[in-house]
Copies of this chain bind each other. A is one copy, B any other.
Amino acid sequence: MNRLHALTDGVYAIAMTLLVLELHVPDARSASELIAGLIALAPSLFSFALGFAVLGTYWVGSAINLSHLARVNRAALLLNVLQLFFISLLPFTTAILGRYPDEAAAVILYGLHLEALGLAQYGHWVYVLRHPELVQSPIDAKTARAVTTRILVGPAAWAVAMLLALASPRLGYAVFYVVLIGYVVAAVRDRTVVR
């Protein structure tokens, strides 16, 4: 269990920090060129912040959900590694979104990525619900429903965002932002306390 947590936290921490590698120092020969170069980085900064919000939100969710588990088997370990696979890919699609914020293809690729991430998380959660022998204490039906809803709101919203991106990439992009802010606000209101 501790090893799983360590690997998970490690991959999240590294993915968060690797996002920064897409922010390149601008080449400038004067103060005004430097300022212009920094301003031109705005789309990359936006996608950096989005990528960080995705990773932060999923990490908080994963930390709370994994706290239900008391033990794991190889299948559960691999379902986690599958999630980490999609997490470690995030710096790549974030970089594409930062470079091509106005391309529907870039926004849809990002949406598909988030979709895969959400479904991998859902698959892990369903596996946990079906294997009560791995759980610390029984998960009651109400908690199970609440968590399931919270996990599935994301993938539903990403689908909407991708459809909107076909008409207007910026609109789809905005939906990613709004939903993630929604998760953050919901989190701040949440009063669950974890040791």
Assembly stoichiometry (copies): 4
Within 8 Å CB of A19, what residues of B?
88
SS class, residues of chain A in contact with chain B: helix
Q: A10 contacts the other chain (Cβ, under 8 Å)?
A: yes
Does A179 reach chain B (CB closer than 8 Å)?
Answer: no
Name the segment of A21-29, A116-124, A137-145, A151-159 touching the other chain. Answer: A21-29
From B5, B21, B52, A21 is in contact (CB under 8 Å) with B21
Distance in angstroms between the alpha carbons of A89 and B25 in the assembled complex: 12
Tell me, yes or no, whether A195 is within 8 Å of chain B by CB.
yes
- A25-B96, A63-B4, A92-B20 known; A38+B188 contact, CB < 8 A: no
Place the interface of chain A in its size category: 35 or more
**Known: A20-B18, A194-B72. Is A52-B95 also a contact (CB below 8 A)?**
no
Q: Is the CB of B20 within 8 A of A100?
A: no
Partner of A74, one of B6, B60, B95, B103: B60
9 contacts between A and B (CB under 8 A): A2-B5, A7-B9, A11-B16, A14-B14, A14-B18, A17-B91, A38-B96, A72-B193, A77-B187
A residues in contact (CB < 8 Å) with B: 1-7, 9-23, 25, 28, 31, 34-35, 38, 48-49, 52, 56, 59-60, 63-64, 66, 70-75, 77-78, 81, 84-85, 88-89, 91-92, 95-96, 99-100, 103-106, 109, 133-134, 184, 187-188, 190-195
